[in-house]
Structures are given as structure tokens and as C-alpha cells.
A and B are shown apart, each in its own frame.
Chain A
Amino acid sequence: MSVQPEALPLAPSPSRRRRQGRFAASESAYERRRERFAWMLVAPSVLIVALVAFYPLYETFRLSLTNARLGSTNTVGYLGLQNYRTILSDSDFIDALRRTVFFTISSVGIELVAGMIIALVINSNFRGRTAMRTSMLVPWAIPTVVSALMWQWMFHDIFGIINDVLVNKLHIIDEKIAWLAGSNTAFAAMVAVDVWKTTPFMALLLLAGLQIIPTDVYEASTVDGASRAQQFWQITLPLVRPALLVALIFRTMDAFRIFDLPYVLTGASPQTQTVAVYARDVLVGFQRLGRGSAAAVIIFLLIAFMVFLYTRLLNFEEE
């Protein structure tokens, strides 16, 4: 494999052509070796993902067509689409679905507006912005279960400080409200906790998008006499749009599959039941593996459909 001095002739000679061919062959062998090595690196992860995610997902699809029960090894019967018909005609599921959609739209909507305001505030240069950005991480780091418990205490009907502030300090309402008992107030409380917990995350994602906008764009538009509102709608918003869409994807998926917040905040009461709580109830509570799997498949398909819509929107933007 040693390179000879005559490997650099002015005119190509037959021997050089041969050597080139051999070099190309060894290069492709080298590439093949690298490719094989890369597959060796990736293989364990692919195997594990197949085992802990794809096989169970396939099983969920398969079981949703049967009358399987959890913890029973009796032979299972094939039901066709019967489970889906049962689920879709169950008013509890329809209620849970409606509630989850409404929860997703309202909480993600509020988080988007509030997150944008916070991101714009942090992005404007002022002393103490680091402290503010740090404070954003506190709600994010607190486990959802813990934040549900914290707010459960704040929403307490007799001793909770939310009633105390509203009744005794601000005199907005005359009587204390049992927030977590009524179905509308419990839903509002759930949205409030979710907004508190995840707005900071939204703000940080949007802030990252804002920080890559070059400042001279703003300077140029200031010279042209653009107002701040004009700058926001015509410069900031279009330029932050990709980051905004990505943040929306993540938050929509998270809100739609939410489980721990409604489960802990109201003790899994039917009034705040989301589709995830419903599915777990059928799967584990009633041990109906087949029927619960059908609900799980419906949730999976809805989320897959939403991801598809969002990515189409993103690709459309890029073109």
C-alpha cells in the first residue's frame, strides 16, 4: 500500500489507472467497514426500542381486537372491532375526550400567550434577567405530582389561600368556593396548575427562538419608523415561528396525554377524567385489557394524527 513517487505523473499512465481503481476499491471497503461499525453501535438501542416500545405497541393493537383480561391466562377470543364500538359509544369516554381536547386547547393557548410575554420580557435587556430565567426553572423541575399536591392545598375550600385571597383580601367573591369539588371549577383548577407548571418551559423554548433573531433587523426597522407592535407582528412573530411550532407540538402532545395531574389533583374523580385516566381505569382498574387497549389505540392514533398535521405545517413553512 506504499505510495510510489511515480504516482504523480503529468499524464495518466495505464499503471496509474490501475492503482486508482484499487484505491477506490479499498476506499469502499473502508466505507463498508465503517457502516458495519455504525450499525454495531446503533443495534443495542434499536433492539431495546423494539422491545420496550414497538412490540408493546403492536401488542396493544392486537389485544384491542380481543376480549383479553389482565392477569388471566384464559384463552382469548377474537372480537373484531367490537371493543372500539363499545368505547366510542361509552359516554364516559366521549366526555373524557371532549374534556381532554378542551383542556389541551385552553391550557396550550394560555401557555403560548403567557410564554410569549415572558420570553419577550426576558429577551429585552435588563438587569436581573438571569435571575428571572432561573426562576423559570423552578416550576419545571417540580414533579407534576408534587405540584398537584401543592395546588390542592392552595385550592382547599376552608383553609386554602386562594379562597382566602379572593374572599378576605380582594373581596372578589363573597363565599369560599369548593374548587376541586365542582366540575367546572375543578377543570379550571386543572388548567391553572398546568399553566403554572409548563408556561416557563414554553417561555424558554420561545426565548431560544427569539435569541437567534439578529438585532440589526430591529435596528433597521426602528430607523424606518416601525412601532413596537408592528415590529412584533411583522418581524418577531414570523421569525420565531419555527421555534413556536416545535414548542406547540411538544406541549400539545403532553397536554393531550396528561395523566398525573388530574389523577392526583382531584383524586381521579370522574369530573376531571382525561382520556389517559379513562384508559388506565379500564386497563388496570377493571382489568379489561382488550377494551382498554382499544381506548389506548384511539389515543395513540389521535396523537399520531396531530403530530402528522404539525409536521406537515412545519414542512410547508420550510418550503
Chain B
Amino acid sequence: MADTLRTGAKPFTPEQIREMSSAKVRKRTAGEYIERGLFWLLVAGIIGYTIFPFYYAILSSLTPSNDLFATPAVYWPTSLTWTHYRTVLSDDIFLYGLRNSVIVSFGSVALALIIGSFAAYGLGRFKFRGKTPILYIILSMTMFPAVAILGSLFRMIRGDWFLNTPNVFNSWWALIFTYLTFSLPFTIWVLTNFFKAMPRELEEAALVDGAGPFRTFWQILLPLAAPGIVTTGLLAFIGAWNEFLFALTFTQDEGARTVVVVISQYAGNSQFELPFAKRMAAAVLVTLPLIVLVLIFQRKIIAGLTAGAVKG
């Protein structure tokens, strides 16, 4: 700064530099147009690639079977029908599956949030011996292969592991508890970072006002963490809703079988009937609520998904 004052020369502002460099390019407008055109083509291609399969699933679910199994394939809506949705929604097994998915996902996420937010408060705002190992163990658990504990969890669920533990095979509890293997570490990890980022002054002010650590948590930190808890809960919910391996292995029938397992086993009513339209209708019904939630909370979700990654 002092140098520029003495010599009287001003440094270029970034805007000026950008102007200069773009002025150089502006001479070749044709090249610029081609470049712009290619860029938009790339953008359109990427969006088309990510959206098209879901669009095609919706289209197939609304197309009458006759049109669907015609040789020039349909790409645009021609004649629409709700038949496939009516078939799926009058199917008891599908509806039971939906009920089970809702109960199991809400149950395990609620447990993970309650227990996990306590742990995250402890890990994020207190210093104590053994904290770093606990954090590392929790992080490593998010990379844990579920199949490594499948067999022994199965035994525990059947109750033959310890004295007279009950057999919870094919019940909601089997899934609610086993889903904690991934939803609890995830919740703790994300919320710990969230609590860590809160200003220290909040706690000090509460301490001066005579609040104990529990009241500080309950009345000051928790309300502030509410947005983070909602996002974390939503991400954990999506994880539980989409889980397949445990749901397939630990359940047997409509008593506890979740909806993704139900639709994975959809077959035609006869050997000659192709079940694709019905499957696509079920697929859309299962996915649409998730997509709507994700679109509503998109900013928070992107932040939540990437927060841990950037900090390392």
C-alpha cells in the first residue's frame, strides 16, 4: 500500500483484470459462442443424465401396459392411466411394507437422535480422557461393512446369545436396534461437529447465570442445534428407509418386512405377465416422499453431507 502511494501507481482491481482478460477473448466471438454452446450442452447433458431414469420410471408407471410393451418404446406421455397405482395401493403387502418402513425408520432415527445428541454434546463441548479414541471409533464405524456382523446379529435377534433374551426375529425391534449400527455413529459424528462450532460464550453466560451443564444443554444448546438435528435426522431417516441387507435378512413377512424389500420381490401375477409397470408405480410411491423432502431441505442436506468431508 505504501509503495503504491509513493510511486503513484494503483494496483489493478480484480474487476479490471477480468475485463482485460475477457477483452482479449471478445475478439474471437465465434470461438466464444462455440465454447458457451458446448458448456450449456454439457450442463443439459448432466441434468438429463441425472433426471432421466426417474422421469422414465414415472412415465412408465403412468403408461398403460399395452403401450409399455410396444416395440417403438414410449419417451413422451401419450395416454396416461392410474391403473398401476391403483393396483399397488390396493395391495395389502405393499401397504404393510409402507407401515413397517415408517415405524422402523422413525423408531431408529428417534433413538439415534436422543442418545446421539447427548453423546455429541459430551464430545463436542467437554474435555475428558478417552474422547479422541471414542471419536475415532465412531468415525471408523461409518465405514463398517454391515455383512461382517450379519450372522452374529442374526443369532442375537433369535435370542440365542445370552440367557433368556427374547427372539425378536421378524419384528420391528430387530430392525430398529440393528439400524443403530449405522444411524447412531452418523448422528454422533455430524452433531459433534455441530456442537463444536457453537460459540463458547453461550455456555459461559449460562454458567454465570447459574445454569448447570444439563440445563445449559436443554435450554440453550439444544434449541440452537435444532436445525442441525432436523437435517441429521432426515439424512439418517433416508439411510434407514433405503436399508436393504438387514431388512431382507431379519424379517420374514408383512409383520415387519420394509417396503424396499417388498418391491424388490414384486413379480408378475402369472409367468406371462411382466411386472414392470406395477414395480415402477411402487418405486415412485416409495421414492417421491424422499425426493420432496430432499428438495425442501436441499441446502441443509448438501451442507450436512459435505461438512464432515471438508473438515477431514
Residues of A within 8 A of B (CB): 34-35, 37-42, 44-46, 48-49, 52-53, 55-57, 59-60, 63, 70-71, 73, 117-118, 121, 124, 126, 128, 131-151, 153-154, 156, 159-161, 164, 168, 196, 200-201, 204-205, 207-209, 212, 215-216, 219, 222-223, 242-243, 246-247, 249-250, 253, 256-257, 259-260, 263-264, 275-276, 279-280, 283-284, 289, 292-293, 296-297, 299-300, 303, 307, 314
Contacts and interface: CB of A to CB of B under 8 A. Distances in A.
Contacts of A48: 115, 180, 184
Q: 9 shortest A-B CB distances, which residue pairs?
A: A41-B122, A38-B126, A208-B306, A59-B152, A45-B119, A143-B242, A56-B149, A260-B244, A257-B145
A303 B145 CA distance: 8
A290 B115 CA distance: 33
A41 B118 contact: yes
Nearest to A218: B14
B123 A42 contact: yes
B249 A35 contact: no
Contacts of B5: none
A207 B21 CA distance: 25
Contact of B54 (A150, A201, A293): A150
A246 B298 contact: no
A40 B47 CA distance: 48
Contacts of A161: 56, 73, 75
Contacts of A71: 158
B43 A132 contact: yes
Contacts of B118: 41-42, 44-45
B26 interface: no
A299 B146 CA distance: 10
A45 B53 contact: no
A30 to B, nearest CB: 10
A204 B306 contact: yes
Contacts of A63: 151-152
B225 interface: no
B53 A147 contact: yes
Contact of B151 (A209, A275, A296): A296
B150 A283 contact: yes
Contacts of B137: 49
A37 B68 CA distance: 63
A223 B43 CA distance: 28
Contacts of A207: 306
A219 B17 contact: yes
A223 B133 CA distance: 47
B299 to A, nearest CB: 9
B152 A219 contact: no
Interface string B234-245: 000010011011
Given A70-B154, A250-B143, 6 more contacts: A42-B119, A63-B151, A154-B53, A161-B73, A303-B143, A303-B144
B126 A164 contact: no
Nearest to B123: A42
B260 A145 contact: yes
Interface in B278-312: 279-280, 283, 286-287, 290-291, 294-295, 298, 301-302, 305-306, 308-310, 312
